[in-house]
Chain A
Amino acid sequence: MSLCLQARKLSCERDDRSLFKGLDLDIRSGEIVRIEGPNGSGKTSLLKILSGQLSDYEGELFWNGAAMKSVREHFLANLLYLGHAPGIKSGLSPLENLAWYQALSGESSEGKGGEEQRLEALEQVGLAGFEDIPAGQLSAGQQRRVALARLTLTPRALWVLDEPFTAIDRHGVAALERQLIEHAQAGGCVLVTTHHELAASTPIRRIALG
């Protein structure tokens, strides 16, 4: 099954400032789409609209051809959004943080299976050995990696990533880039904003704002 997220005549106006107008957008399986534009051009707002957080826009959104409003739950069940803030509780360990995210989508996170999945996901982002340390004691980059562990822990077709490369070291950036490409090749799609220059070999489509 392929997926597609479409926007028709999308306009966003915040406090009388028009961010973008009449935007038509088609995002399909196997694509990496990068939203570009200077600071304040509405990249984050566009991602928030496309991930169903912001509702003050004009125009229409379609998820697999059906109007977004009528299939919102199906859309959310297939969406993974990572915003500016990693969404990691400093008082909880990485394992506990991930357990909440697993449970939030309605998957049972209890039992041995869930624990093993979480450990595996943390190992993949290079956090083996940090599982039980309160996330507040981890560095900003490590916290970001905990959030990125969700990409493998809770597989979703559509990734919406707002500046995912922030605070990550070079090695991690390369790994994440690889992960994005693999996800697209597997039929998923990635919607990303970043100031980081992606490797030239990455097959991406660019959408310029502002």
Chain B
Amino acid sequence: MWAFIHKLGSPKWFYGISAKLQPWFWAAAALLLITGSLWGLAFAPADYQQGNSFRIIYVHVPAAFLAQSIFISMAVSGLVFMVWKIKVADMAAAVMAPLGAAMTFVALFSGAVWGVPTWGTWWMWDARLTSMLILLFLYLGVIALRGAFTSRDSASRAASVLAMVGVINIPIIKYSVDWWYTLHQPASFTLTSRPTMPTEMWLPLVIMVLGFYSFFIALTLMRTRSEILRREASKRWVQELVNGQMMKVPAEETR
């Protein structure tokens, strides 16, 4: 068990295994996203109430899912880093933060665009959008805190603690915002609470959600790999790896 965890924590091992996994996730992401968007945008029936504008759900919902999941996985990585001192976990957390913030922004933006045909305005203080906005601030806080330290070791620990504090607070924030919203705007029309959605509408949604997740995993693997190279640049295995590749390229060029 311990040997396995430490093996998992070795940047070199992770660098190798992620190289093998990465193409599969990229392929899955491409396949799922193309299928999902074609199906969702072209073949799924239009909504009886919202017409074609409901199709933005195929971007909005997966992005919102991912925004929350990334924060949770960031906090879990932070916990793993703090408890077992596994550096790869922190590298993953570091690359996840901007990605999560971007996903939150996509969810907010698509929500705003959706608001135009639905509410006739770009912004409503809708419960879902409001908690998304707060989530964006939480992401920005983690990113800013990590950037503020001069010592990278301290930055990693501080960002991990903040991510964990944030993840404990997210459900509390979400419930209080929901409560606040129902108090101020009782029984109004919310974007995505559809109790009855026909199969041909939600199936592409599921595919899109899976596609977004695959994309996220593939991108995280890729960016963690470059983060490993950056942070371990002084280690021997990285230098051997880089030198090996450099040797190959000039050798071919000179020929």
Residues of A bordering B, CB below 8 Å: 14-16, 56
Contacts and interface: CB of A to CB of B under 8 A. Distances in A.
Given A14-B151, A15-B152, 7 more contacts: A14-B153, A15-B151, A15-B153, A16-B231, A16-B234, A56-B85, A56-B153
A16 B231 CA distance: 8
Interface string B132-150: 0000000000000000000
Contacts of A56: 85, 153
**Nearest 4 A-B pairs (CB), nearest first?**
A15-B152, A15-B151, A16-B234, A15-B153
Contacts of B151: 14-15
Contacts of B85: 56
Interface of B: 85, 151-153, 231, 234
A14 B234 CA distance: 13
A15 B85 CA distance: 14
A15 B153 CA distance: 6
Nearest to A56: B153
Nearest to B233: A16
9 contacts: A14-B151, A14-B153, A15-B151, A15-B152, A15-B153, A16-B231, A16-B234, A56-B85, A56-B153
Nearest to A18: B234
A14 B151 CA distance: 8
A11 to B, nearest CB: 13
Nearest to A13: B153
B159 to A, nearest CB: 15
A175 to B, nearest CB: 37
Nearest to B232: A16
Contacts of A16: 231, 234
B149 to A, nearest CB: 10
Contacts of A14: 151, 153
A59 to B, nearest CB: 13
B84 to A, nearest CB: 13
A16 B156 CA distance: 13
A16 B228 CA distance: 13
Nearest to A17: B234
A40 B85 CA distance: 25
Contacts of B234: 16
A192 to B, nearest CB: 26
B161 to A, nearest CB: 14
Contacts of B152: 15
A7 to B, nearest CB: 18
A16 B235 CA distance: 9
B100 to A, nearest CB: 25
A113 B85 CA distance: 47
B2 to A, nearest CB: 15
B237 to A, nearest CB: 14
A15 B90 CA distance: 14
A14 B155 CA distance: 12
A57 to B, nearest CB: 11
A56 to B, nearest CB: 6
Nearest to B235: A16
A16 B85 CA distance: 15
Nearest to B151: A15
A121 B108 CA distance: 64
Contacts of A15: 151-153
A14 to B, nearest CB: 6
A85 B236 CA distance: 39
A144 B3 CA distance: 49
A163 B5 CA distance: 41
B69 to A, nearest CB: 30
A174 to B, nearest CB: 38
Nearest to A15: B152
B115 to A, nearest CB: 46
A56 B81 CA distance: 12
A14 B231 CA distance: 12
A69 to B, nearest CB: 14
